[in-house]
Amino acid sequence: SYKLTQSPSVSVSPGQTARITCSGDALPRRSAYWFQQKPGQAPVLVIYKDSERPSGIPERFSGSSSGTTVTLTISGVQAEDEADYYCQSTDNSGIYVVFGGGTRVTVL
Amino acid sequence: QVQLVQSGAEVKKPGASVKVSCKASGYTFTNYYMHWVRQAPGQGLEWMGIINLTDDIKSYAQRFQGRVIMTRDTSTSTVYMELSSLRSEDTAMYYCARDGPNNFDYWGQGTLVTVSS
């Protein structure tokens, strides 16, 4: 079955830039989405269609795509950004949803 | 405002079934599909399936085929997810999430299902 691969963890100091990558064979043809999840809370959409930001999401969150890899970038990381981040897309059929394994962002 | 309110926590024995509800409000119920996603303790997000709230067509993740049934009641704007033949590995938080213009745009608060003898 189709998989999306994320690195398990990223550590970053406040004010620095965090980059989280997600790899998958269908990503050149399928949009990617990014979710932030804090402990005890439901996930929140932070990026849709590779690089679009929903209203209410800070500008420091951005997304990009290159080939089979998509990247979530958090510029000027703040303590409140400490969370788990998940990428999501679909397989080539466009029907079956897949989530990456998640990346824990730790703010030092 | 859009809200998805799920039913309360459940404790079930192995082999039993559980039915979780998700009541939608603040928008036209049949305009969007609904997903179900689960998350085992300390683990990642796992997609279970999606239901078209207009024509009742469903697509289920392969690993849940034969064990999950998603239904909807348009008169009460409520979606249901029933999982049968429960085992300990099904202990998880279960979420409904709207398939809005920007994909999973609204999520329920989650329903904890515990499977234990």
Give yes or no for residue A106 having a pLDDT over 90: yes
Contact A42 B108 (CB under 8 A): yes
Answer whether B99 touches A (CB < 8 Å).
no
**Angle at CA of residue A23, ends B101 and A13, nearest 5°:** 90
A64, A71, A62, A66: which is closest to A28 by C-alpha? Answer: A66
Task: Kindly list the residues from chain B whose CB atom is less than 8 angstroms away from the CB atom of residue A1.
Answer: 62
Interface test with A, best of B104, B105, B106 (most A CBs within 10 A): B104
pLDDT in tens, A33-61: 999 999 999 999 999 999 999 999 999 99
Q: Which residue of B has its CA nearest to A101?
A: B44
Q: What is the pLDDT of residue B24?
A: 98
Cα–Cα distance, A82 to A98 (Å, whole number): 23
**Contacts across the A-B interface (CB distance below 8 Å):** 53
Indicate the length of chain A as a whole number: 108
Buried b (16+ CB within 10 A) or exposed e, B1-39: eeebebbeebebeeeeebebbbbbeeeebeebbbbbbbb
User: Contact A35/B45, CB-based, under 8 Å?
Assistant: yes
pLDDT averaged per 10 residues in sequence order, chain B, 117 residues: 97 98 97 97 96 94 96 97 98 96 92 97
Mean pLDDT of chain A, nearest integer? 96
pLDDT reported for residue B103: 86
